[in-house]
A and B are shown apart, each in its own frame.
Chain A
Amino acid sequence: QQQVKQSPQSLIVQKGGISIINCAYENTAFDYFPWYQQFPGKGPALLIAIRPDVSEKKEGRFTISFNKSAKQFSLHIMDSQPGDSATYFCAATHSGSARQLTFGSGTQLTVLP
């Protein structure tokens, strides 16, 4: 019930293209869905987050789309750049879990120049 399933495991995109990473969850109690970006040799850093009362949140080239009925959410990176090459983790949490995050398994994104 706590699992968050993330796909794809790896993704290769041409510069300027759109990168899309998908996550699905089972626990309907989840009420906060952050995405983390991790560069090699660094810890993950919060990229963007959404609550289930909205269907989309956009920050620059990064957009989260949220489908509450399908229990799915996705990260879209528009105009992908080589500097976006990193590992991306989706996550979810709810107040009943003491706000402990449940992470997806990660997606390694490579943006080709």
Chain B
Amino acid sequence: EADIYQTPRYLVIGTGKKITLECSQTMGHDKMYWYQQDPGMELHLIHYSYGVNSTEKGDLSSESTVSRIRTEHFPLTLESARPSHTSQYLCASSPGARGYTFGSGTRLTVV
């Protein structure tokens, strides 16, 4: 039933590894967002995109990068993971007028 998909759901990885968190949506939404969230806590916007080849940094400084080569795909990459990157990462998309649809998130643990 989900129209926005995040993979993997859980990831445990060693310090210094490069990782990519995948986010895809089938709704044709132009706007997509990445949030970082500790469980049950505030949502912190780290990246957003208003369309293909458009990406911006959010309110929370992040060492991650994103790309938007296709409308439906908005991956997030960490070049060198650190324990401070341990968190939940939520992807969302929006048509602009009616709020966001969120994915189920990726729970990242860096050991």
Contact = CB atoms under 8 A, between A and B. Distances in A.
Contact of B48 (A36, A42, A93, A100): A100
A85 B103 CA distance: 20
B40 A106 contact: yes
Interface residues of B, number: 25
Contact of A98 (B39, B96, B101, B105): B96
B43 A103 contact: yes
A105 B43 CA distance: 7
Interface size class for chain A? 20 to 34
A45 B101 CA distance: 7
Contacts of A101: 94, 99-100
A103 B90 CA distance: 14
B40 A43 contact: no
Interface of B: 31, 33, 39-43, 45, 48, 50, 90-92, 94, 96-105, 107
